[in-house]
Amino acid sequence: MKKALPTVHYLSLRNIPAFEKEKRRNPPSGQKQDYIIQTLVDLGYKVNYVSFSESANNRFYRPKKKKLSEKVTFFLTPNVPGRFRESFAFRWFCHLYAMRHIKAGDILLVYHIHTNGMRNDLLRALADKRHLTFVYEVEELFEYAHETVSQKLVEEELAFLQCPDKYLFCTETLAETVNRRHLPYAICEGYYKYVRANLPKWNDGKIHCVYGGIIDAVKGGAIRAVHAAEFLPENYVVHILGFGDVPTLKKEIEKIAPKTACEIKFEGLKKGQDYIDFISKCDIGLCLQTMDQNLTATSFPSKLVLYLSCGLYPVALGIEQLTKSRLAENITFYSEDDPKAIAKAILSVELKEENTIHEMMDRADKTFAADLKALLS
């Protein structure tokens, strides 16, 4: 008889519609987490998805549980208002949850969270006591995401991450930075499933470019898209989707629009399937992040993988972790943080047959599944 696989307890931040009234924090990393969970399920694992998301409501909420599928169950930690909320949630997990749901030999998969940092001391102690495999998923170093970087705080964050038995990283570059003990690890750059909506393109004789994501001064991708549009001809359209500093973006569009034949359109915020539907109709995805070495060296732009998942050809900064990515063959790179250089890269994109990207994403999906299976075996 085949031995049952251990349960994976996936710790992160998330909410689901069933508990929407509690106004729990719901960060944009959810789609990649869903992909990792689906890969685990496809490999035969049962997954308990445990969310430590805090509530925007200043009140007490009991822990919640909801079965999402035959192999996936969602747990929501209790919410206690005040400064002891995190400590209470983690102690609930390490004592009550662990007593009922964790067995010796199970797997603890922990998403590296910034604002309510994981209690690694408690989790390490739990893993040792229950003989668990402790895997840390690291998507970026948060201390680099500030305009002024404190190297002391960066070192503290790196020290904080030296607690697991294994890692799951988004790039080899991040692995080289964090994995000081040379532990086993796997790489997942993003959502490798091909999800392009079955919708026709715009079919107006124009090439449609899209930037979808945060609108801010630190990463600056939306503003770069607007500035690059100044150097694109009339058969190009640049769409901006997102949230954040919208007033500044609109001012830039008003300033650039009279100078260019290219149409620039702010489409507002789109979520879920509406977002997938919109970008699936476009041709080129713009991933125009900052050239700040701190930010670019320790993260992988999830929007780039999503563009490819929807059949778009991305334009991106030619940094090491992107040029060495398993997806690089269908990305067009630029090397100068200059609107003309970005526009030149956009104009050089070769739009190939749709199955070109589809086949590449299928290969990446199978590679990750094999790597994850090996990591957890």
SS3 per-residue string spanning the chain = CCCCCCCEEEEECCCCHHHHHHCECCCCCHHHHHHHHHHHHHCCCCEEEEECCCECCCCCECCEEEECCCCEEEEECCECCCCCHHHHHHHHHHHHHHHHHCCCCCEEEEECCCCCCCCHHHHHHHHHHHCCEEEEEECCCHHHCCCCCCHHHHHHHHHHCCCCCEEEECCHHHHHHHCCCCCCEEECCCCCCCCCCCCCCCCCCCEEEEEEEEECCCCCHHHHHHHHHCCCCCCEEEEEEEEECHHHHHHHHHHHHHHCCCEEEEEECCCHHHHHHHHHCCCEEEECCCCCHHHHHCCCCHHHHHHHHCCCEEEEECCHHHHCCCCHHHCEEECCCCHHHHHHHHHHCCCCCHHHHHHHHHHHHHHHHHHHHHHHC
pTM score, whole prediction:
0.86
Indicate whether 296 pLDDT > 60: no
Give the count of alpha carbons within 13 A of 110, CB side only.
30
Are 138 and 163 in contact by the 8 Å Cβ rule? The answer is no
Query: Residue 225 and residue 345: Cα distance in Å, rounded?
Result: 12
Of 134, 345, 112, 108, residue with least CA distance to 225: 345
Beta bridge partners of residue 136, listed in sequence order: 110, 167
**Predicted local distance difference test score (pLDDT) of residue 151:** 80
**Predicted local distance difference test score (pLDDT) of residue 324:** 86
Query: Residue 250 and residue 254: Cα distance in Å, rounded?
Result: 6
Beta bridge partners of residue 334, listed in sequence order: 317
Give the count of alpha carbons within 13 A of 282, CB side only.
27
Query: For the chain, how many residues are written?
Result: 377
Please give the mean pLDDT across all residues of the chain.
90
Give residue-wise pLDDT tens across range 2-30: 678 999 999 998 889 999 999 988 776 67
- Region 81-85 average pLDDT: 80
- Region 18-43 average pLDDT: 88
Q: How confident is the model at residue 156 (pLDDT cuts 50, 70, 90)?
A: confident
**Predicted local distance difference test score (pLDDT) of residue 292:** 57
What six digits make up the tokens of 244? 């954040």
**Predicted local distance difference test score (pLDDT) of residue 157:** 83
Query: Residue 114 and residue 137: Cα distance in Å, rounded?
Result: 12
| Strand 8-12, strand 107-111: pairing | parallel
**Predicted local distance difference test score (pLDDT) of residue 294:** 53
Give residue-wise pLDDT tens across range 165-213: 999 999 888 899 999 999 999 999 999 999 999 999 998 999 999 999 8
Indicate whether 329 pLDDT > 70: yes
What six digits make up the tokens of 19? 């508990």
Indicate whether 272 pLDDT > 90: no
Query: Residue 271 and residue 70: Cα distance in Å, rounded?
Result: 27
